[in-house]
Amino acid sequence: MNKKLFLGIVGLGTVGSGVIKSLELNSETFKRKYGMEYEILGVSASDKNKSRSIKIDHYPWFDDPLSIPDIEKINVIIELVGGEDGIAYDLSIKSLKKNKNLITANKALISKHGKELAKISDESNLFVGYEASVAGGIPVIKTLREGLLINKVDKVFSILNGTSNYILSTMNETNRDFEEVLGEAQELGYAESDPTLDINGYDSAHKLSIINALIFSEFPKVSDINIKGIEKIKLIDHNYANEFGYNIRLIATSSLEEHKFYKEVSPMLVKESSSLGKINGAQNIIFLHNNENGNLILEGEGAGAGPTSSAVISDLVDCYLGTKLKFFGESYENLSLGSSTLDTKERCYYFRVFLSDQKGAMAELTSLLSKNNISIDKIIQKGDTHLEDEKSSTPVVMITYPVSIGVIESVVSEISGTDLISMEPIFLPILKEV
């Protein structure tokens, strides 16, 4: 729009404070490089007096965030509250109705209300930016909307949640169990005090739905995505995966094959030496597969004050420069809603059970698998690796030949009801493509 930006910023946590710090530090640079000038005319957060890395005294404070879009002069609202509904949603809608441009880092909001926001954005001259909602420091939205215009991506494989990747890679590296590493991640600030959405895969699913819309012009509901979290991964699973040459990572993937969409978030076994298998700590990666033109791989910091506020600022500059694109690349009217198939293709699985220490147990298990047409490629049973609380059963780990998820699930439900095993078995897909 090329006129001075008057900003209202709601949400002053790590990202909000990072954005304000960047705006304060870089005002001369932005003026010089883009001609962009700005002024913060209103800030709001749940707690005015919380200790922050920045001073907010000199910015007009509003107890009610929803009163900020009422300020006539403000032309950009930056929503950094989070959450799919509540203040974030109300603020976003009100801002757009009041003819304010909107920038948000909120993947849950976009994932749930993206179509409504897309409609408002596409039908107006308002700028709605959400670069920071997916993979913070990696400009993936920009790349998909502006950089890869004629490259037809047919599959995406990604690691989009830094917390769960930190937990998985740290369990593996330091040989410690899930709970211990999670506790440490919370102490270090890598994990929220309530890490549910990170760990159960839903945060990745929110981000995947956005990427999916940009790539395939198909905008799925979270319930259209096969979602499995990392809660049940044990240290021994990492150890066994390593023996087979794999690491376990929480993979968010979608693909279009023979006119069918496959969308899934699940811990998977990926080759240790692959791009995805090597991602450690809180890094993110997005692997865009393209049959014609080769792959494009983007890798970087997915979260944190620096990377995420950089993405917010990048939106702000686009807003200033007047870069107006369809919200999801394609007009909202042409977006198909997610197909509800949760089917997956046949593939190999890592399958781990705790088999009771009773005569004939292994024979019983393998005949059950055979009866269900599950063929076993590799199997490991080490008699001495009992879990501390499972003295009377032994872990048995198998790598299957390709099989459908339905078959695996029915076998699991069949053996779960018997005394053949203790604890719930787990089965993880093996990703061979990357």
Q: How far is the CB of 190 from a copy of itself (least distance, A)?
A: 13
13 touching a copy of itself, by CB under 8 A: no
- Residue 329 engages a copy of itself in binding (rule: CB under 8 A): yes
Instruction: Please identify which of the residues 100, 207, 228, 263 carries the catalytic annotation.
Output: 207
Distance CA 147, CA 122 (A): 20
Minimal distance, residue 114 CB to a copy of itself, in Å = 17
Quick check: is 263 catalytic? Answer: no
Residues present in the chain in total: 434
Closer residue to a copy of itself, CB minimum distance, 295 or 339: 295
Complex with a copy of itself: residue 7 or 365, whichever CB lies closer: 7
Could you give the C-alpha distances from 128 to 213, 332, 432, in angstroms and in order? Answer: 16, 13, 37
- Token digits for 343? 């089917």
Going by C-alpha positions, the residue among 71, 121, 116 that lies closest to residue 90 is 116
Integer-rounded Cα Rg, in Å, for the chain is 24
Smallest distance, Å, CB 298 to a copy of itself? 6
Asked whether position 375 contacts a copy of itself by CB under 8 A, the answer is no
Of residues 4 and 371, the one with the C-beta less far from a copy of itself: 4
Q: Is the Cα dihedral 385, 388, 393, 398 positive or negative?
A: negative
Select the residue interacting with a copy of itself from 121, 283, 394, 400 (CB under 8 A): 283
The smaller minimum CB distance to a copy of itself, of residues 40 and 426, is found at: 40
As a whole number of angstroms, the distance between CA 265 and CA 183 comes to 23
Answer for which of 324, 378, 382, 386 binds a copy of itself (CB under 8 A) is 324
Contact 91, 65 (CB under 8 A): yes
Nearer to a copy of itself, 291 or 341 (CB): 291
- Site pattern 289..308 for a copy of itself (x: CB under 8 A): ---xxxxxxxxxx--x-xx-
Work out whether strand 101-104 and strand 5-10 pair parallel, antiparallel, or are unpaired.
Answer: unpaired
Of the candidates 348, 354, 330, which has an alpha carbon nearest to the alpha carbon of residue 408?
348
Binding pattern for the stretch 333-372 against a copy of itself, x by CB under 8 A and - elsewhere: -x--------------------------------------
Selected range binding a copy of itself among 30-38, 102-110, 206-214, 368-376, rule: CB under 8 A: 30-38
The single residue among 28, 49, 51, 149 that binds a copy of itself, judged by CB under 8 A, is: 149
The three-point CA angle 401-257-266 to 5° equals 55
**CA 18, CA 303: separation in Å to the nearest integer?**
12
83 binds a copy of itself (CB under 8 A): no
Instruction: Give me the least distance between CB of 244 and a copy of itself, in Å please.
Output: 18
- Could you say whether residue 213 binds a copy of itself (CB under 8 A)? no
CB 233 within 8 A of CB 171: yes
CB of 242 to a copy of itself, least distance (A): 15
What's the distance, Cα to Cα, between the start and end of the chain in Å? 42
Count CB-CB contacts under 10 A for residue 55.
9
According to DSSP, the β-strands at 218-219 and 336-337 are parallel
DSSP class of 284: E
Place of tokens 């991964």: 233
Site for a copy of itself in 92-131 (CB under 8 A): 131
Positions in the binding site for a copy of itself (CB under 8 A): 22, 25-26, 30, 32-34, 131, 137-139, 142-143, 146-151, 273, 275, 278, 283, 292-301, 304, 306-307, 309-311, 313-314, 317-318, 321-326, 329-331, 334
The residues annotated with a catalytic role in the active site are 207
